[in-house]
């Protein structure tokens, strides 16, 4: 089954294009780090804004327009 390509918009909060996949977290042990890295979501590297899914991220961008 092919997944549909989804365009990820810039950060709705600051407009940055520096985005990362995963969940925001601080310093932790490697085992917990591996578990947190498997979680879904989009985070802005510049301001730290987080959305749990790409759909929610793009929805916030559309609301801002």
Position 26 in a domain:
yes
At 14, is the secondary structure helix, strand, or coil? coil
pLDDT at 35: 55
Q: Which residue has the higher pLDDT, 20 or 44?
A: 44
pTM above the 0.75 mark? no
Position 11 in a domain:
no
pLDDT at 10 over 60: yes
Rounded to whole angstroms, the Cα distance separating 44 from 30 reads: 22
Is residue 34 packed enough to be buried (19+ CB in 10 Å), middle (13-18) or exposed (0-12)? exposed
The number of domains in the chain is 1
Domain range for 33 is: 19-64
Which secondary structure element, helix H or strand E, spans residue 31, and what is its range?
A: helix 30-37
Position 23 in a domain:
yes
pLDDT at 2: 74
CB 42 within 8 A of CB 54: yes
The percentage of residues in the chain with a pLDDT greater than 90, rounded to a whole number, is 3
Q: What is the average per-residue pLDDT within 27-54?
A: 70
């Amino acid at each position: 089954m092919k997944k549909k390509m989804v365009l990820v918009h810039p950060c709705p909060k600051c407009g940055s294009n520096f985005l990362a996949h995963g969940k925001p977290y601080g310093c932790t042990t490697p085992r917990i780090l591996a578990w947190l890295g498997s979680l879904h979501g989009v985070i802005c590297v510049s301001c730290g804004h987080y959305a749990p899914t790409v759909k929610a991220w793009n929805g916030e961008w559309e609301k801002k327009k």
